[in-house]
Amino acid sequence: MTNETITAAASGTWKLADLTVNRIGFGAMRLTQTGAAFAPGATPSDRGRAVGVLRRAVELGVNHIDTAAFYFSSLRSANELINSALGGPYPDDLVITTKVGPARGPAGDWSRHAATPAELRAQVEENLRQLGRDHLDVVNLRILGTDSIAERFGALADLRDAGLIRHLGLSNIQPGHLAEARAIAPVVCVQNLYGIGMRPEHDEFLRTCGEQGVAFVPFYSIAAAGREGGATGTEAEEVLAVARAHDATPAQIRLAWTLHRGPHVLAIPGTGNPDHLAANVAAGALRLTADDLALLDALHRRGA
C-alpha cells in the first residue's frame, strides 16, 4: 500500500471524554535511543531525527501522543523532545497522554513504583515541567500486581480536582482494577499489553471497556513477545499471508487487526524512523476482510 498520502484521519476517531483523537496515535517510548527501549548502554537517538519524526507525525494527522517522564536515555528525554518539537504553542487539537507510577534513577535504573500521594504529585509535576504545560490532558496510573489501587488513583483524582490533570486512565491493570477506579473518578482509557496472540484471555475485558465507553489502548501490539526489544523478525504465516494480500507489512496487519477489535480501540505505535512512522499511520486505512479476520482471530486464540 502507498503510505505517503494516508493520514491518521483514515483510522477514524474516538473521544476521550471531551477530547477527540484519531485512532492511530504515536508512542514516544522509542524516541530516546536506538535499539531496545530502556536497554542499558544503548546509543542515544539523533536529536534532529527524533524532533523531525514528532513534527512529521503531527503533519500526518496524529493528534494523540503517549509519553512519560521515565522515557529517557543518557542524553534524551521524550517529554523534552515533544516540548521542543511541538510546544510553543502546542497544536490546539493535540492530546498528550502521560503515565505515572514507575520511577527511574538518573542512571536509568528502575526504582520502586510511586506509592504515596506526595510521590505521585511529584511525578505529575515533573511531567508538567518537562512538557511545559499548566495541566496534563490524560494521566494513566501504571501499576504492577493485583493490589488495590484505590489510594493511588484517589490521589490522582485529587490532582484532577485541583486542575493539574484533565482526565484519568489506567495502565497495565487487571480487569477488577477498572471497576475500583471508576468508583472513585471517571476513567477515559486503559493501556494494556495486547495484540495478535497476546492475552486472548483479555478479549472480554476489551469488550467491557467498549461497553463502558472506555478507550482500550494496546501496547506492544507490533512487537508482540519482543516487547521493549521490538519485533523479533519472525512472523506467523497467517500474518504474512494477510500482509501479502493487502501489499502491506506484518506490522501494519498487526496494527490493523487491533483497530478492528472495536471502535474504542486506539493504537500508539512508536518509532524513531520516519518511514516506519508513515507505514504505521497508513495502517489505519487498512480494511481487513471477514476471511482475514477469521484467520488472524484463530491465530490469536491459539496464543501464537
* Torsional sign, CA 250, 209, 225, 279: positive
Q: How far apart are CA 288 and CA 151, in angstroms?
A: 42
**What residues are paired with 95 via a beta bridge?**
64
Q: Residue 264 in contact with residue 216, Cβ under 8 Å?
A: yes
Note whether 197 and 232 are within 8 A (CB). no
Complete edge-to-edge strand list for the sheet that includes strand 26-27: 26-27, 64-66, 95-100, 136-142, 165-171, 189-193, 215-219
Provide the 3-class DSSP secondary structure of residue 50: helix
CA–CA separation, 84 vs 138, rounded Å? 20
220 catalytically annotated: no
Instruction: Spell out where the chain has E strands.
Output: 13-16, 19-22, 26-27, 64-66, 95-100, 103-104, 110-111, 136-142, 165-171, 189-193, 215-219
The CA-based angle 159-160-165, given to 5 degrees, is: 95
Q: Which of 71, 90, 194, 220 is catalytic?
A: 71
Distance CA 90, CA 135 (A): 13
Report how far apart, in Å, the C-alpha atoms of 179 and of each of 7, 158, 203 are.
35, 18, 17
Distance in angstroms (rounded) separating the CA atoms of residues 216 and 194: 10
For residue 206, what is its C-alpha cell?
A: 476489551
Going from the C-alpha of 276 to that of each of 11, 145, 154, 158, 273, the distances in angstroms are 17, 33, 39, 39, 5
Active site positions, annotated:
71
